[in-house]
Amino acid sequence: MVEIISNEKVKIILQAARKRFAHYGFSKVTMDEIAGDVELGKASLYYYFPTKEELFKAVIFQEQAEFIKNVEVLLQKPSPATEKLEEYVERRLTFSRELANLGTLSIHSVLDYKYVFRKLYEDLELQESNLLKIIIDEGKNSGEFRKDLPDELTKVFIHVLQGLKLRFIRFLKEQRLEDEIHKLLESEMKLVTDIFINGMKNK
């Protein structure tokens, strides 16, 4: 008898997979273990997620979707554009740490599973650029930011944040970003954000 996988069952699978990946990292988790966690037949698990890479992609996609949703909520706040930009960076830091705990930021993962992440991260960068453009446009319209800011600024800002994050990858220990290193990353990202904001302000 073929077991039908419901949407609720998929949620349970993703929750179990995320917990496994966060605790052990991608390379040490097996599909058998995840199937056992959710008391699901292997055939059913493989029917919906043919490979561990596909399941991992689904977990990462879920994390990214939640992050984008949080930023979209941020955009609805009646706060100045400068505050929204600062809060965006804070939320991005939290998101990055969650990904680090899933093992996606280790050098080993980036090199060995680049094909798994590339499209996901390209899509995420596009969504982030669009949302940041909304914040910057709000600042332009309110008079907080200069009117002559180039559209490319959003991508440049994201690329700088990405570069800072990559600089700290080498400090990862067992796929976890230690508190001390995370604080250093947070400090540098906030400094860069202040520099960008001061450069964008309509003086």
Same domain flag for 43 and 78: no
pTM for this model (two decimals): 0.80
Domains: count for the chain: 2
Among 183, 91, 81, smallest CA distance to 142 is for 81
Alpha-carbon span 172 to 178, nearest angstrom: 7
3-state secondary structure of 72: helix
Q: Which range of residues forms the domain containing residue 134?
A: 59-200
Same domain flag for 86 and 156: yes
Same domain flag for 130 and 151: yes
The answer to whether residues 171 and 192 touch, using CB atoms and an 8 Å cutoff, is no
Looking at 12, 32, 50, the residue that finishes a domain is 50
Alpha-carbon span 109 to 126, nearest angstrom: 22
Same domain flag for 85 and 159: yes
Span 127-158, pLDDT tens digits: 999 999 999 999 999 999 999 999 899 999 99
The answer to whether residues 130 and 191 touch, using CB atoms and an 8 Å cutoff, is no
Span 85-140, pLDDT tens digits: 999 999 998 888 777 766 654 444 544 555 666 778 888 889 999 999 999 999 99
Same domain flag for 138 and 162: yes
Same domain flag for 104 and 139: yes
> Taking the mean position of all CA atoms in its chain, how far away is CA 18?
14
SS (H, E, C) 178-192: CHHHHHHHHHHHHHH
Same domain flag for 119 and 158: yes
CATH number at 122 reads 1.10.357.10
